[in-house]
Structure 1
Amino acid sequence: MNIDELSPPERRLWEAFPRGESVDLSSTDPGLSDPATADRWGPDRYIRAEVLVALLAGAVEPESGHVAAVRLSGARILGSLNLGHAQVDVPLALTNCVFDEAPHFYWASMDSVHMMRCRMPGLVASGTRVDGHLWLEGSQVSGGLLLDGAHIAGILNMSGVHLLNPGGDALLADRLSVDANVYCDQGFTANGEVRVPGARVGGQLILRKARLHNPSGAALYASRLEVAANMFCDGGFSAQGSIRLRGARVGGYLSFVGARLSCPEGIALNADDLAVETDVYCSDGFTSHGGVTFAGARVSGQLSLRGARLHNDSGTALSLQRLQAEEVLLRPAEQVKGVTDLSFAKINLLRDDPATWPERLQLDGLQYETLEPPLTARDRLNWLRRDTDGYQPQPYERLAQTYRALGLDADGRSVLLAKARDRRKTQGIPRKIVGWFQDVLVGYGYRPFRAASWLMFLLVFGTIVFSLHRPAILNEDDHPHFNAFFYTLDLILPIGDLGQERVFAPEGVYQWIANLIVIMGFVLGLTVAAGATRALSRE
């Protein structure tokens, strides 16, 4: 490029480049300092894109003892800044600049790139390698920011960036690799889908106070995302559209504290198969209009839903199906509006609050070691009976086992008795009748003292009946002494012989009474023995 063909502002930039000096073309008029007023800027602020390309491609040698760089402020860039496949060894720093066309860094290898508070109709950096930082702080990019397959060796700073591409990809960053932190905070907004599936962040991913808007689809599509440290979606974070973190990996903790998510017709937060090495916080004002699912997720620490508000009246508001977590704090600010699915989850410590128990639960297959608060069996049975699938045996067995592990055998038996009674409601009429008699007589075997009371009743009843109606002697040659009490006791005992039953035989209706006492004595005696055995072999 011939220097004689350069305009005065271009000549200033050309001469400043070898020493890395800054060129500021900003107007002294405060009304023309904002890039939004670029349509009113004059030729004294115009820089052709081909001039920037020439400088960045090595048209001018650096001055000895200086680091060459393009440092430009307040300019309007005319034409296409196309650095596709270029090798750029000098820094590029543009501030408060406006681009007529989207810059193209496709598969370029670049030094650090700073484009702060700039306005661009798009930015194509697919496959780009940046050996330093990529700094886009405060810029506005319409038409899509493309970083798919890019590799940034330093920080990716998009603090305060506004991405505008309604109905399309506001940020396309599939398989993006950033070795340090990624900042999408301090007023970061995106109108359109933010895509980072398969991306890798070597430090922290910060979306604090970010606002994402794509109500017709995914506001944040981050399946298989890998974050080496913490991920923050808090401090006023909001999203219109779904957040998809399926299969993502977070090496620190994941925070949605106070976040507001809205996807009324679907899943507001999909964290299925998520893996987090420490804690997950969906708490302290976290609000979701739409489902929240952690199905199959693995949380090494605590999953906290303390103070959360979950709304999905037409379906599942919270799914923890197959979740594996050390602790789940399920104490929302209000009752969950919708189904809470805990089926087949494995939780060491489950903390909840009876005041905010969901009206609808799914508990089949849920495994836990400790419940806090433990509550009485009657209260916890009210929790079990909220299961929308109706009677399922496993939740009763798990709860009874928990009580027995705490040494609360009476509560454990109460749960198992409730299990038998609730099962009876699902059976046919004949089984219901048999079950009812089992319940009344022996409490399905879980009320041995009730069986003992019936035995005492039988003993008293038989003693009175056979005192008034003495049975006949089987052998008239014998004249044994008859004792109604010992005769009845002989009938009741399933084993042993007191010498009465084999000598005396009642007739007629009294024979039926004797046989009934024998049968009931056998059944009730086994029940008492089983209860005593359980007491002696307490787990």
Structure 2
Amino acid sequence: MLSYDELTSPERELWDAFPEGRPVDLRAGVPEDDRVAEGGQWGPGRTVRATVIVALLLGANTVESGAVACLRLAGARISGHLDLAGAQIAHALWLEGCWFEESVNLLGASLRTLVITRGRVPGIEADSARVEGNLDLRGSVVESLASSPFNHVSTALSLSDARVTGGMLLNGAHISAPGGWAVAAGGLVMEGGVFCRGGFVARGQVRLMGAQLPGGLFMRGAQLEDPGPGGVALAMDNAVVSRLDFSDGFTANGTVHLRRTQISDSLSFEGAVLNGPPGGAGPALTCRLMQAVDVDLTLARPPSGTVDLRGAQVTHLYDSEQSWPDVVELEGFVYGSLDPIDSIEVDEPGERRQASGRRNSVDSRVAWIRRSPGYNPQPYEQLASWYRKAGHDDEARRVLLARQRHRRRTLPRVARVWGHLLDVTVGYGYRPWLAGVWLLALTLLGTLSFRTHAPTPVQRGEGAPFQPLVYTLDLLIPIGGLGQRTAWYWSNGSLQWLAYLLIAFGWVLTTAVVAGVTRALQKN
């Protein structure tokens, strides 16, 4: 138990100020002397033992009636280990511009607002902690812990299964665990927002797997670096969040994992840079089975790694020419609308209205689908369905025709030949007018050829007079008959062979029409 006589001068000042919540400022007032990076050189006049802080927070000094006790300390060197594991703390803790010799242990603690701003801390461990208020680390430098009972890798800020009723403020903070976990917050419940803006830098992986963030995650302009051997800069698998803001220069030098993430509002990568793991060894963005409403993928430049959208469900997707790398996984991707950003006009601030643009041309969208490796019919059907809902049936048919042409590449040689025939004759049933073009061309060929010579009747004096047009149509129509084909034959060998070819073309054309229309009516 500490006695008042054992306290140093700055510790007595803090002890006396605590019951009334008065701030204690040990800073010299000279910028060169107050740099936190040089805090290890601060002498006894600016040093407070961690045990004194622990004693005050646990009720060592009687709280005065009519005052709100609070520990407010600025510009101090905190010596020793600040160990509050499992503690029940009823007072707010405000530490500004402080330099910690050792890490802060809040494992399983219950406390009020925790503020450590513009300080330097060699690790904060707050797994399973409960904070009734805000967790504020703005402008602080938090470095990796040497070890942790829960994590087998170096960790700087550990918040696994913690619960915060307010928000977490990390604006301007530098969280550093290169090759390890900069932030380990699996299962975190943060009722307010998580703000990582204003120069936030994380060296090491940011892990928010299974986190619940109803207030949203805002990482505008944040930098994620040194993800380690796994190459994952941000892991938010199975998280539930209202809004994700990775815009305005957000840079991830590693994979961003949003697998099975549920986003009730918007996901924005507007102006972001997704570099993926070094050397292109993995995907830049993985959104497999993700669910979101508005998704803005208008990046600053194309990602350097794959974008995986397999099984994702999105209501509105905004994209541009900079959105997509060479490989995009689209199998099972479902969207309600596609809004190209270069065809968006603004009516009111924060609102968008779609105008016509080349990004939604069929050719560009089909090229987008073909960035997906292999052949899968679902992306084509999804795009065709969207065109139909938009009232563009012609565009939908063009997409389905492109699907058949893509599928043809995967078939055996004989099937590919038949596919080419269907394509040329009726466009796989999506261009039935081609059959009319072929019929007209063959009819003209036959009529003009047969009128140059007189055929020989099968039975003289019987049957209708020879009509080149009717005779040609009779050859081309395989079903029924107009009475000309059976009544005349040719002694001229070339014209007889032309008649045979027209009969063959008639059968082929009819078969292609039936097969093409049947295939067009089928789902696949």
TM-score, normalised via structure 1 length = 0.75
State the partner residue of 1:224: 238
Structure 2 CA distance for partners of 1:391 and 1:432, relative to 1, 3 Å? farther
* Percent of matched pairs sharing the same residue: 28
Query: Does 2:291 align with 1:298?
Result: no
Q: Deviations over 1:252-280 (max 9, x none)?
A: 21111111121222111111111112x11
Contact 2:17 2:23 (8 Å CA) reproduced: yes
SS at match of 1:251: strand
With 195-204 and 509-518 compared, the bigger mean Cα shift is at 509-518
Residue type of the alignment partner of 2:33: L
Distance 1:4 1:414 in 2: 84
State the partner residue of 2:465: 483
Shift of 1:327: 2.1
Considering fraction of residues, name the structure with more strand. Answer: 1
Contact 1:196 1:225 (8 Å CA) reproduced: yes
Q: Deviations over 1:434-470 (max 9, x none)?
A: 9779969999973224324434544565565445x45
Contact 1:505 1:511 (8 Å CA) reproduced: no
Structure-to-structure mapping, 1:11-26, within 5 angstroms = 11-26=12-27
Residue type of the alignment partner of 2:247: D
The structure 2 residue matched to 1:322, chosen from 312, 332, 337, is 332
State the partner residue of 1:185: 197
Structure-to-structure mapping, 1:94-133, within 5 angstroms = 94-133=95-134
Distance 2:195 2:443 in 1: 77
CA RMSD of aligned residues (A): 4.6
Contact 2:251 2:274 (8 Å CA) reproduced: yes
State the partner residue of 2:153: none
Distance 1:44 1:421 in 2: 76
The structure 2 residue matched to 1:174, chosen from 168, 186, 193, is 186
Contact 2:75 2:96 (8 Å CA) reproduced: yes
SS at match of 2:91: coil
Shift of 1:92: 0.7
Distance 2:509 2:233 in 1: 62
Residue type of the alignment partner of 1:233: F
SS at match of 1:168: strand
Shift of 1:158: 1.0
Query: Does 2:261 align with 1:251?
Result: no
Contact 2:161 2:189 (8 Å CA) reproduced: yes
Shift of 1:246: 1.0
Contact 2:425 2:509 (8 Å CA) reproduced: no
Query: Does 2:290 align with 1:274?
Result: yes
Unaligned runs of 5+ residues in structure 1 are 334-348, 355-371, 474-478
Structure 2 CA distance for partners of 1:463 and 1:434, relative to 1, 3 Å? farther
Distance 1:237 1:527 in 2: 57
Distance 1:393 1:105 in 2: 50
Q: Deviations over 1:89-110 (max 9, x none)?
A: 0111111111111011110110
Contact 2:443 2:472 (8 Å CA) reproduced: no
Structure-to-structure mapping, 1:227-376, within 5 angstroms = 227-228=241-242, 230-263=243-276, 264-277=280-293, 279-283=294-298, 285-301=300-316, 303-308=317-322, 310-311=324-325, 316=327, 318-329=328-339, 353=358, 372-373=360-361
State the partner residue of 1:43: 44
Distance 2:238 2:192 in 1: 18
SS at match of 1:484: coil
The structure 1 residue matched to 2:212, chosen from 192, 200, 203, is 200
Q: Deviations over 1:388-427 (max 9, x none)?
A: 7589899599879979x75759x96999699689959966
Shift of 1:198: 0.7
Shift of 1:320: 2.7
Distance 1:527 1:191 in 2: 66
Larger Rg: 1
Structure 2 CA distance for partners of 1:384 and 1:76, relative to 1, 3 Å? closer
Shift of 1:244: 1.0
Contact 2:337 2:386 (8 Å CA) reproduced: no
Structure 2 CA distance for partners of 1:18 and 1:269, relative to 1, 3 Å? same
Residue type of the alignment partner of 1:220: L
State the partner residue of 2:168: 156
Structure 2 CA distance for partners of 1:521 and 1:185, relative to 1, 3 Å? same
